[in-house]
């Protein structure tokens, strides 16, 4: 068993996630977007570490997340791993409490407070994150308002878990928060059960997750039709009817980036490392 | 200016070093050796961090180095960044003292003790490092003896600086230790003066360093003739007479790995990051 701490495993998970290739539509070891390159993810992972360490040390999850995002953003490309950190912060907290299980992670997120929600909103001030318009009646809570939304949040007494619950049907990370991180834990077991180099396993589980559900980040940026096409074609890769590398090239060229699925892979790699995955 | 600490910059330097491509003969973003792959360097960098943090916190350089190597070795490929850590440990110490200059680094290494030398020998017990036979009369101090050599070391009262001075003519890292890290600081300035993505600058400075002096790791593993050929052909790359990527493919195929030059690049990236290099 490795001697790495939970914080080290979280950081390594971020690095291994971006190393896995091909991960169609994502920055990976072999592909960059023009202004979002591999090295920005390296700096993002290193920068996020102090925030992840707060999560491990028992700080509030919202505060740890906000600090992790602030550190992640200390590179020139802006948002690299916002969603991945939103997955990792509660998982690192659960691991540090000795409960890195679906129910342990569920306890962590259900115990979040209004202050955690306020920190979540503050985190949006560090980077531009592509999000949808809020549902009717939720305009005062639009995350794009950043800190300006905090008073509305406090008036309504909404915790970070409450905020996630309101987005769970349109955001794949929020769905994990309210669903015991089911896809993350399943993907971790797939990684552990697989063989071969870890980045190859990350690539495989990425395609499996992509084929399983539409990527909500693609829905937001490219529309539902594009997201459904990506899901269908990931399935075709699994069936051997389409080549993963060709699909990767095409999606990068079309600026279709299934970032939420990558975020889930980062979470899954963390759980797998904590459970003994050997690099 | 980035808010990263010296320890974060050291870790990021390790990650950026292996990301730069092509770096002929090295593992890089596009090339692996069969049992030494990119992800092992990711885990090596993450694992080395606690040792680097000791160097930043004022621990003895030898102890910090030994701990960094122990953490680095917590992956399945063995030695990934032994030499790079031997460069980084004193540079991180110098940076933390506010003196990341040739003379500041020189002070750090000249202040090393017999205990630092003993820790250096202990570090060899964590990994297999390719080294030459020791010079005549130095057999009791063969680093391959690990801790068994420590009594000989203590009898002779040799500090870690003394040990390095005895190897400076056959080891490129030792030459830096006794030469104010001249090549590292020069390469840092080349990186800062260049343009474009940081990994591309790392690749360029790697070829420049390789063309400048024979890589002592290649001398040890492949012989002087091979090392001189590599130096000559790196020069041909700089002159536009040979293609860097073709040379990279050939050297990997011939198992010629200019690892010492890569170690210097890691040190140079660290200095450049500390001096404001933007990723």
List chain B domain ranges. Answer: 6-100+182-274
Q: Which residues in chain A have their CB less than 8 angstroms from residue B76's CB?
A: 278-279
CB contact under 8 A, B15 and A15: yes
To the nearest 5 percent, what fractions of chain B are helix, strand and coil?
A: 65, 0, 35
Q: Residues 72..91 of B with a Cβ closer than 8 Å to A: which?
A: 74-76
- Is B130 in CB contact (< 8 Å) with chain A? no
The pLDDT tens digits for B32-66 are: 988 899 999 999 999 999 999 999 999 999 999 99
Smallest CA–CA separation between A34 and chain B, in Å?
Answer: 11
Computed over every residue of chain B, the mean pLDDT equals 95
Per-residue pLDDT reduced to its tens digit, B81-111: 999 999 999 999 999 999 999 999 999 999 9
Task: For A273, name the nearest residue in chain B, comparing CA atoms only.
Answer: B43
Q: Is A55 near chain B, with CB under 8 Å?
A: no
pLDDT value, residue A145: 87
Q: For residue B2, list chain A residues with Cβ-Cβ distance below 8 A.
A: 74-75
Cβ B40–A76 below 8 Å, yes or no?
no
Kindly determine whether residue B12 and residue A71, on different chains, have CB atoms separated by under 8 Å.
no
**What pLDDT, in 10s, does the model give residues A140-180?**
888 888 888 899 999 999 999 999 999 999 999 999 999 99
Closest CA to A15 of B30, B20, B43, B198: B43
A28 vs B: CB within 8 A: no
User: Does residue B190 have a pLDDT over 80?
Assistant: yes
Beta pairing partners, A28:
A31
- For residue B81, list its beta bridge partners: none
Q: Is B33 on the interface with A (CB under 8 A)?
A: no
The single-letter DSSP state of residue A35 is S
- Kindly calculate the radius of gyration of chain B based on its CA atoms and give it in whole angstroms: 17
Whether B29 sits inside 8 A of A38 (CB atoms) is: yes
The predicted-structure confidence for A61-103, as pLDDT tens digits, reads as follows 999 999 999 999 999 999 999 999 999 999 999 999 999 999 9
CATH number of A6-274: 1.10.4200.10
Question: Which residue in B259, B41, B198 sits closest to A40, CA to CA?
Answer: B198
Q: How far is A46 from chain B (nearest CA, A)?
A: 6
CA-nearest of A245, A247, A249 to A230 is A247
| Distance, CA of A157 to CA of B73 (rounded, Å) | 48
State whether A76 and B278 contact (CB < 8 Å): yes
Asked if A172 reaches chain B (Cβ–Cβ under 8 Å), the answer is: no
Across the interface, of A8, A11, A279, the residue whose CB is closest to B39 is A279
Q: How far apart are CA B210 and CA B172, in angstroms?
A: 11
How would CATH label the architecture of B6-100+182-274? Orthogonal Bundle (1.10)
* 3-state helix vs strand vs coil in chain A, percent to 5: 65, 0, 35
Chain CA centroid to CA A71, Å: 16
pLDDT for B138 equals: 81
């Amino acid at each position: 068993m490795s001697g790495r701490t939970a914080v080290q495993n979280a950081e390594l998970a971020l690095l291994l996630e971006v190393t896995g290739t091909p991960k169609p539509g994502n920055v990976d070891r072999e592909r960059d977007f023009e202004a979002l390159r591999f090295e920005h993810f390296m700096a993002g992972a290193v920068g996020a570490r102090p925030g992840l360490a707060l999560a491990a040390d028992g700080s509030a999850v919202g505060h740890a997340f906000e600090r992790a995002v602030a550190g992640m953003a200390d590179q020139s490309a802006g948002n690299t791993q916002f969603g991945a950190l939103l997955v990792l912060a509660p998982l690192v907290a659960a691991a540090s409490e000795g409960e890195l299980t679906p129910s342990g992670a569920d306890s962590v997120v259900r115990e979040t407070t209004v202050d955690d929600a306020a920190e979540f909103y503050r985190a949006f001030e560090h980077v531009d994150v592509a999000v949808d318009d809020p549902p009717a009646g939720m305009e005062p809570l639009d995350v794009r308002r950043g800190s300006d939304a905090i008073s509305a949040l406090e008036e309504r007494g909404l915790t970070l878990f409450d905020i996630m619950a309101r987005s769970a049907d349109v955001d794949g990370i929020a769905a994990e928060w309210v669903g015991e991180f089911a896809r993350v834990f399943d993907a971790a077991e797939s990684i552990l059960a697989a063989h071969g180099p870890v980045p190859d396993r990350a690539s495989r589980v990425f395609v499996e997750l992509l084929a399983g559900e539409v990527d909500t980040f693609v829905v937001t940026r490219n529309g539902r039709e594009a997201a459904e096409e990506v899901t269908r074609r990931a399935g075709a890769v699994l069936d051997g009817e389409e080549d993963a590398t060709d699909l990767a090239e095409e999606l990068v060229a079309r600026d279709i980036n299934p970032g939420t699925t990558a975020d889930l892979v980062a979470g899954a790699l963390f759980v797998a490392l904590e459970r003994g995955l050997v690099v």
